[in-house]
Amino acid sequence: MTTTAAPMPAPFVGDHLALDFVNSTATPDGVRVEWLADGAALLQWLLAAKLIAPADAERLRAARGGAAALDAVAQRARELRDGFRHFAERHAGRPLDTEAAAELGALNRLLAQDSSHVEVAADPEGGGLRLRRVEPFSTPDQLLQPIARAMAALLCDERFEWVRACEGHACTLMFLDRTKTHSRRWCSMASCGNRAKAAAHRARRNLTSS
C-alpha cells in the first residue's frame, strides 16, 4: 500500500493519548497516511499532542545530530507505534490478563530509560500545590518517554475491553470507548459515522425503489 506523508492536523479522536499515537498512521480512502514520516513531523505531532513545548522543539532541532538524530527517533517512534498497534488489535475488546505482560518487553525497556521526575509545584489555578512532571528533553531519544508512559497508563489504568477499532469501511483508527453505554462505533460521527448513515440511507432507498 502506498504511504503518503501528511501535514498536521493528525486525528486526535482516540480519547486516550496512547491511541492517538497509534492513530498517527491511518488509511482514509484506502491510502495509508503517515504523520510521523520524519523527525520534523514527529516534533509537530508531539507539539499538537501537547507533550512538548515550542521551546523543547527548538532546542532539539538545534541539538547535536540535528535532523538526522530526530529522523532516527522518528523511525523508533514508528516501530514503537506499530508494535503497540498490533498488541492493541490483538487484545481490543476484552480484558487484559497476566499473560499479556510477556508481550510488553520493548515497552518496559523504554520505560526503564525514563529520565523525567516529578516535583511539588504551585498550582496557580487551584490555589494550592500539585505534582508536576519535569521532562528534560535534552536528547531526541527522550521524546519517546511520555509516549511510553501513556501506553503504560492505557494498559494499567483503563479497561482494555473498551478499546475499539472504528467500524468504518477501510478505517484503521482506534479509540477508547468512554461513552456511558460503551456503544461507540465510529472514530468520529462527522466522518465514518456520517458515511455509514449515508450508505444505510442509500441502501434503504434502493430497496424501496426496486
Per-residue pLDDT tens digits for 160-196 = 999 999 999 889 999 999 999 999 999 987 778 677 5
Q: What is the CA radius of gyration of the chain?
A: 19
Q: Where are the domains of the chain?
A: 3-209
Beta strands in 1-150 (DSSP E): 3-5, 25-26, 32-34, 117-123, 128-134
Q: To which CATH superfamily is domain 3-209 assigned?
A: Jann2411-like domain (1.10.3300.10)
Query: If you average pLDDT over residues 18-44, what whole number do you get?
Result: 93
SS3 call for 119: strand
Q: Give the pLDDT score at 31.
A: 83
pLDDT bin (cut points 50, 70, 90) of residue 41 is very high
* Cell matching residue 112: 526503564
